[in-house]
Each structure stands twice: as structure tokens, then as C-alpha cells.
Amino acid sequence: MPSFEEPQTPYKVLILGGSYAGLAAAVNLVDFCHGRKNRFSIDEADNGTGKFIPVQVTIVDPRDGYYHLIGQPLALSSQKFAEAFWTKYTDLAALQTAEIRTVQGSIETVDCASKTATITTSKGPIHEAYDYLITATGLQREYPSSPRSLTREKYLAEAAENLANVRNASKGVVVIGGGAVGIEIAAEINMLHPHIPVTLVHSRTRLLSSESLPDEFAAKALEILQSNKINTVLGARVVDISEPQQTTPDEKPEYTVTLSTGSTLVASHVINAVSRFTPTAPSFLPAAICDEQGYIRIEPTLEFPNDGSVPNAGDHYAAGDVARWTGIKRAGAAMHQGHYAAKNIHQKMMSKVYGTTPEFVELAEVEPGMGLALGKTAVGYFPSMGLSSGEETREMFFQGDLGFMICWKWMQLGTPMPKAIGTDSETAAEAEAETAQL
Ligand SMILES: Cc1cc2nc3c(=O)[nH]c(=O)nc-3n(C[C@H](O)[C@H](O)[C@H](O)COP(=O)(O)OP(=O)(O)OC[C@H]3O[C@@H](n4cnc5c(N)ncnc54)[C@H](O)[C@@H]3O)c2cc1C
């Protein structure tokens, strides 16, 4: 007779990073372990396993809540959206279950051999043992691509300051950097504050010059910006920004922006949106696990590579922006990867507890594609769909809130975690019916 592990001791799963990839992994993993159909499953024949596995998920993040990063260009121009986009983990209904714990702190080191991690918190270091680890710490992005603050209260103060800077920019706003972030920031200011002149400066002659996307995509984005009266200056680098000139305390400061072409722009506010980011993993994981750029090398199953770089590679996963995979880094991909990491970990647990044969899912290669919000409209390019633009494209990719509710509903963050199958007389069919209503 084969002997399987007793399912009484909860499996400890440590998730580093509580954003799209980390949260998708956490909530789907609890669904799996509860034995019901998991929330990302689109398989109509899927009824879940009906088998319970005790699990204890710990999510570590320096922030005190989930931040809808995609919405950052909109949050810079709107206090209403800024308030909506940051939700404390303690206010996320889906996480309010005994099986999920959040720790506000930053991962310092991971010891793959002993399967322990050291987390720095305001109350001192925590040493956390785990059975499985999912790294979902994304990229270290600088403001304005990402907020500076780590708590909701400080973030809202930061957002109010950002908004005041835009709202009071009677001489206009100069946005530096014609990548996706700079373009979206310029477009959102233009939409929400139409009386403020906006200039977008990009060093190359083509917008989105660092993205492997078709020229038609960049040309369409430029056409839409210009049709919205956003001044676009291409092929010019910013070589100097003067100290703010202000002759009286009541007067609004004024900057002179000097370009490599010799011409100058005057503005009340300058936003440097030149993309600056660094991968987060090399600061806490062995270098051998990262590629030359610092992304975590993964197998198609999202496990760390099984090439002897680290011990217990198969118990370690990476998902989202922190992982090296094909395609442009996107929140949709991050959620998908978090889901797959959870699914594969659950397969391993099922095998240990119930003796099932694991069936692992693997990531498919991804061609570059992107949706770009341009105020009231959007432009999109995906190989399967081709180029699209207009209000329908905006509705499909972003709706009216830069995709906030799309992500929120997909992860079901506002819905309390259903009970496990078999507890309080819940059946697989009841659980499925509940899930279908969400
Ligand atoms: C301005 C902007 C607009 C974007 N627009 C779109 C869009 O329209 N569509 C789209 O699909 N994608 C968009 N993206 C990309 C998308 O936001 C990322 O692909 C997505 O955020 C990746 O999710 P993630 O969970 O992997 O990482 P992140 O969202 O970056 O989350 C990482 C988490 O890890 C935490 N963390 C960092 N370091 C540590 C540590 N040491 N210990 C513990 N936790 C840590 C962070 O605080 C954070 O909560 C945009 C990005 C930006 C910046």
C-alpha cells in the first residue's frame, strides 16, 4: 500500500509580492486547496477536485495594500481614482480568511536549501520557513511609473501633491519620455485637465521606440495624441531643466526645458517619465538563478530552472514581471503566471496527499502585444487581433478606470473567500454555483 502524507499539517506557501501575480497565486491556490473550481478556470467541465488540502499562505509586501499599478497615469491626475486604486490588504475581502496572512515587510534573503526566508519588518526581522515559494516582486520602478509611498495614507498625500502640481500648471506640463508610461500620463492629463497645455518630448523619432511593436501602432498613438492637441516633440533630448523661477511667493514656479535641438519649452510642471526600472530578484536570491539582466530564469512550469543553480529548485517559483518570459511585461500575463504557479503547486500537494499523478500546466511563448490608453480612446496591438483603436478598444482593454475593475473582478478581490468544500455542508456543486454568480 502506498503511504501518502497526512493532510492535517498545512502546507506553508510563501508569496513574495502582493500585486497582480502574487494575489492571483494566493487566491487561486486557496480555491484549489478548498477543492472547488478555481476562480481563473474557464473550463466549463471543471468542478474542482472536491478534495481539501490544508494550506497557510503568507504574502509579504513592503506596501500595506494592493496597488493597481496600471492606473498610475490616471491616478497622477485624479484624486478620485488614486483613492480607488490603493486598497489595504486588511480591506481586501478575498484575503480575509485564516488561510491567508499578509506581512508588511521586505524580503531580504531566501535560503533555498533550508527553505527559509528572512523578512525585514518595522518590528524587526522575521524568519519564515516554507514548503513552496512564489517570487512575484515585479520590477523596482521609480516615480512617476510607480508611487513612492508604502502606506495608503502616505500615498494619498502623494497623490494630492501630484494632482495639485498638474492642476496648477497654468504654463503647461512637459512630460519627458514617449514610452507607454509617458504617453499615458500625457493623455490622462489632457483628458482630465483639458485647459492645461501638455507637451510630450521623446528622444527618438518614433514613439514607443524601445518596444518591439509594429510601426503602425506607434504611428496611431502619435496621431491620436496630436488629434487631442497634445504637443509632441520627437527626436529631441532634454539637456537641461532650469531651477524653478518664482519672483513672488504667490507666483507659480516656471521651468525652462532646454532640448538638444537648441529650442526651449516653458512649463509650470515637468514629469520625467523616462522608463527607469531594475529587476528586484538579485537583491535577495542567488545570482545563479537570474539572467544577465536580473530576471529570474524559469521553466515553462514557472519553477526555478532545474540546472543545479539552487537546491530544491522545484519548490521555488517565479511569476509576473520578475520572471524571464517572452512578451511585453503586462499585468494580464502576471495574473496568468500567478495562476499557473498556484496550479502546479497544488498538483504537487495533491500528489503527496492523495497520491494523484501530477498534471502540470506550462506557459506558452508570448508575442509582443500592448493596449495603450489614450484618454477617451485607446490603441491596441496583439498578433491575434492586429491593430485596433477607438473607444471600443478602450472599453475592451481598460473600461473607464484604466482596467481597475477588470483586474479587481477577475481576481474577485472584493468577494469573501468561499468556504472549503465539505465544511458547513458546502458541496462542489454549491461552490460552483456561488463562483458562477460572482
Ligand atoms: C504606469 C504603468 C502602466 C502600465 N499599464 C499596463 C497596462 O495597461 N496593461 C498591462 O497589462 N500592464 C501594464 N503595465 C505593466 C503592469 O503593471 C506589470 O506588468 C504588472 O504590474 C506586473 O505585476 P507583478 O505582480 O509581476 O509586479 P508588480 O505589480 O510590480 O508588483 C510587485 C509587488 O512586489 C512588491 N515587492 C517589491 N519588492 C519586494 C520585496 N523585496 N519583498 C516583498 N515584496 C516586494 C511590490 O511592493 C509590489 O506590490 C503598466 C505598468 C506601469 C508602470
Tell me the CATH number at 310.
Answer: 3.50.50.60
251-287 tens-digit pLDDT = 778 999 999 999 999 999 999 999 778 999 999 999 9
Q: Which three cell numbers stand for residue 370?
A: 500592448
Quick check: 435 pLDDT over 70? no
CA gap 394, 191 in Å, rounded: 14
94 lies in a domain?
no
Numbers of helices and strands, H then E, in the chain: 10, 22
Nearest 5 degrees, angle CA 63-CA 68-CA 69? Answer: 85
232 lies in a domain?
no
Percent of the chain exceeding pLDDT 70 equals 94
Distance 321 CA to ligand 1 centre (A): 7
418 lies in a domain?
yes
Burial of 314 (0-12, 13-18, 19+ CB in 10 A): middle
| Predicted pLDDT of residue 247 | 65
Q: Report the amino acid identity of residue 286.
A: P
Instruction: Supply the residue whose CA is at minimum distance from atom 6 of ligand 1.
Output: 70
Quick check: 297 pLDDT over 90? yes
Distance 136 CA to ligand 1 centre (A): 9
Q: Report the amino acid identity of residue 263.
A: S
23 CA closest ligand 1 atom index: 25
Q: Is 16 in the pocket of ligand 1 (CB under 6 A)?
A: yes
Quick check: 177 pLDDT over 90? yes
Nearest 5 degrees, angle CA 121-CA 288-CA 62? Answer: 20
22 CA closest ligand 1 atom index: 25
Distance 145 CA to ligand 1 centre (A): 10
pLDDT band at 5 (very low <50, low <70, confident <90, very high): low
The total number of residues written for the chain in this structure: 438
Q: Is 58 in the pocket of ligand 1 (CB under 6 A)?
A: no
Distance 138 CA to ligand 1 centre (A): 5
Q: Is 299 in the pocket of ligand 1 (CB under 6 A)?
A: no
300 lies in a domain?
yes
Q: Is 281 in the pocket of ligand 1 (CB under 6 A)?
A: no
The set of residues, in sequence order, having a beta carbon less than 8 Å from that of 71 and lying 6+ positions away, is: 81, 84, 85, 401, 402, 403, 404
CA gap 61, 103 in Å, rounded: 7
Mean pLDDT computed over 90-109: 97
3-state DSSP call for residue 146? coil
Q: Which three cell numbers stand for residue 226?
A: 496630436
Q: Which of 101, 277, 330, 405 maximizes ligand 1 atoms within 8 Å of its Cβ, making it the mutation to test the pocket?
A: 330
Q: Which of 59, 64, 66, 70 maximizes ligand 1 atoms within 8 Å of its Cβ, making it the mutation to test the pocket?
A: 70
Q: Which of 14, 64, 128, 137 maximizes ligand 1 atoms within 8 Å of its Cβ, making it the mutation to test the pocket?
A: 137
108-121 tens-digit pLDDT = 999 999 999 999 99
150 CA closest ligand 1 atom index: 47
77 lies in a domain?
no
How many structural domains does the chain have? 1
Q: Is 221 in the pocket of ligand 1 (CB under 6 A)?
A: no
CA gap 22, 18 in Å, rounded: 5
Distance 398 CA to ligand 1 centre (A): 16
332 CA closest ligand 1 atom index: 11
Domain extent, residue 35, equals 11-62+105-141+277-366+403-436
Instruction: Supply the residue whose CA is at minimum distance from atom 30 of ligand 1.
Output: 138
pLDDT band at 2 (very low <50, low <70, confident <90, very high): very low
| Predicted pLDDT of residue 3 | 54
CA gap 370, 332 in Å, rounded: 11
Mean pLDDT computed over 194-200: 97
Whose cell is 480612446? That residue is: 377
Distance 142 CA to ligand 1 centre (A): 12
Q: For residue 144, is the peptide bond before it cis, meaning its omega torsion is within 30 degrees of 0?
A: yes
403 CA closest ligand 1 atom index: 8
43 lies in a domain?
yes
How high is the mean pLDDT of the chain? 93
3-state DSSP call for residue 138? coil
339 dihedral zone (left: phi>0; alpha: psi -120 to 50; beta) = alpha
Choice between 428 and 85, residue whose per-residue pLDDT is larger: 85
Quick check: 52 pLDDT over 50? yes
**CA–CA distance from 397 to each of 106, 225, 389, 403 (Å)?**
32, 18, 11, 7
246-261 tens-digit pLDDT = 666 677 789 999 999 9
196 lies in a domain?
no
223-245 tens-digit pLDDT = 999 999 999 999 999 999 998 87
Quick check: 433 pLDDT over 60? no
Choice between 100 and 275, residue whose per-residue pLDDT is larger: 100
371-422 tens-digit pLDDT = 999 999 999 999 999 999 999 999 999 999 999 999 999 999 999 999 998 7
Q: Is 20 in the pocket of ligand 1 (CB under 6 A)?
A: yes
Percent of the chain exceeding pLDDT 90 equals 90
| Predicted pLDDT of residue 276 | 79
128-172 tens-digit pLDDT = 999 999 999 999 999 999 999 999 999 999 999 999 999 999 999
| Predicted pLDDT of residue 437 | 45
Q: Is 103 in the pocket of ligand 1 (CB under 6 A)?
A: no
144 CA closest ligand 1 atom index: 1
Enter the pTM of the model.
0.94
70 lies in a domain?
no
